[in-house]
Amino acid sequence: MNTPPIATQQAIRLMIGGKAFGQAELDSAQHAAELQLAMEHARHRYGHALCLCRRQPLKLQVRLRDERFHLAVWPNEGPQHDSECAFFRDELLGAATASAGLRHIEEPKAHVASAPARPAPAPTTLPTKQTAAPTAKAPAGQAQVNLAHAPSQAPVVRHEITLSVPGQRAPGASGQRAINLKTLAMGLWEEAQLCRWHPSWRRDWGRARYQLHQVAATMSVNGQPLEELLFAPRPFRESAREQVNTEWNGFVDSLNRRGGANAGLRLLIAPVRSLAVPANRPPVMHLRHLRHPIGLSDAALEFVRNDCRAPIRQLQANDNQDRVERALSGRLAAPVQDRRQPEVMGFFIVEGSNRGAVFARAAWLMNVHPRSFIPANSPNTVMLVDALLERGHAFQRVLADVQPMKKTAPDWLVRHVIGPNGEPVARAALDVLDRGSSPEYLQVRQDMARSLAAKGVPTWYWVPSGAWAERRVPPLPPTDEQGPNEAKQILQDISNSADCDFQYGHSPRFSP
């Protein structure tokens, strides 16, 4: 099923001056005067409006500026809103990633175009150059929504990115620090909302591809619109075979047609099926949804072998599984693919050859959950995502281009849960630890947990153990939608579990 994120449908449902307003009224210019009157009434009679995104309504400020009313989130209540709400804000990630030295996005240019889906808060951000006067920005922690009217075309930002391409000098006119393919890939994934999940969503590769193209429409790479450089194959179906092949042939032809500074270079994103390194021939990667493989340069192969070890191991495991299935294809008891294994996503800077082949100058691989496409580096984290999906959680994978020992932000956040003391919290961190983790690494995670606890964020710990066939994810923090008795029982189950814990601060069970 390919259902888009229903951000605006669920995000804005308000009670203003005693009257409820749904999405239709908020989007209609015909209701602008009515909304202004309602906000004036709310301001003078109640002192606030209400956001109905959660079961417990949340207050909104009613402000007057330039003789028009608008609404703003109450201080420190941004994380309490539904993660799909227009008033949702969470400064936790921004502060944590800033302390980790991640790059900063300057205010970009706004122009009128078809608006993409609202991007998720992205802790891993791309360095960009401002290309025009920035739009007005609400103060930190105070999301503002002007309900005067809804324009037919929303302003869309376009970020200018300088990408380092092997064998080429980075463009010097922009005055920016160039980023590598890995940083671009991680930033695109987050901007496309593929690092987070809401219980109302459904996602497959077709939907992920669409979200990537929507975000590409807001970026330029080395002076070229990213949507013109990006190719992500549509999902292969037998009925669409001709269309898929035609689009691929057109992409290959474009590699030899393009002129200018980026002649013949494009960005290819696709799930990877296998890696082959035959003797006396260039290494190749076989991509899902495409019939032709792509070649890898020696530098690209060396990089993925050194920097993408977990995905490379996964591709080797996939190849072994394929061989077993081919060997047993004629038997009744053919093996079934283990759905707990990650999918491997490939990101490539590619060029064409005189014989119509496609070669990657640069490559980067990332393990993702095979159905939601949320980054998940190991089978254990795939199991964790499965459990979060099954139990109806809103959650987020926090990507950071830093070494594990230098991380200051948690890897996972789950939203709107009951804390270890039985009180609702806006979010909790999830930490998956290996039993073989070094004392130094455990100390870093403890320091992070203490820092999060000082901000009111508890940490749920899981140390996977036992035989793989029998391994299960232990109880997760209960959602704040569950009844008090049920939530109390889940917290008790966590307390009794041998391989998990839920604490404010570090866990005494898993201390170094």
Backbone phi, then psi, for 167, in 5-degree steps? 85, 0
Strand-by-strand arrangement of the 49-51 sheet: 19-21, 14-16, 49-51, 58-65, 68-73, 144-145
Identify the DSSP state of 22: -
Question: Of 93, 99, 146, nearest to 396 (Cα)?
Answer: 93
Question: Of 459, 434, 376, 405, nearest to 189 (Cα)?
Answer: 376
Q: How far apart are the first and last CA of the chain?
A: 45
Statement: residue 103 has pLDDT above 60: no
Share of the chain above pLDDT 70, in %: 79
Per-range mean pLDDT, top range of 111-120, 449-458, 503-512: 449-458
Question: What pLDDT, on the 0 to 100 scale, is given for residue 8?
Answer: 37
What burial class does residue 117 get, using C-beta atoms within 10 Å of its C-beta: 0-12 exposed, 13-18 middle, 19+ buried? middle
Of residues 414 and 149, the one with the higher pLDDT is 414
Statement: residue 133 has pLDDT above 60: no
Structure tokens at 399: 């990507």
User: What is the dihedral angle through the alpha carbons of 29, 10, 397, 142, rounded to the nearest 10 degrees?
Assistant: 50
- Least confidently predicted of 93-102, 235-244, 447-456: 93-102
Distance, CA of 234 to chain centre: 20
Backbone phi, then psi, for 298, in 5-degree steps? -60, -40
For range 76-103, the mean pLDDT: 71
Question: What pLDDT, on the 0 to 100 scale, is given for residue 256?
Answer: 77
Please write the tens of the pLDDT for every residue from 187-235. Answer: 999 989 999 999 999 999 999 999 999 999 999 998 889 999 999 999 9
Statement: residue 109 has pLDDT above 70: no
Statement: residue 174 has pLDDT above 70: no
Statement: residue 339 has pLDDT above 70: no
For range 40-53, the mean pLDDT: 93
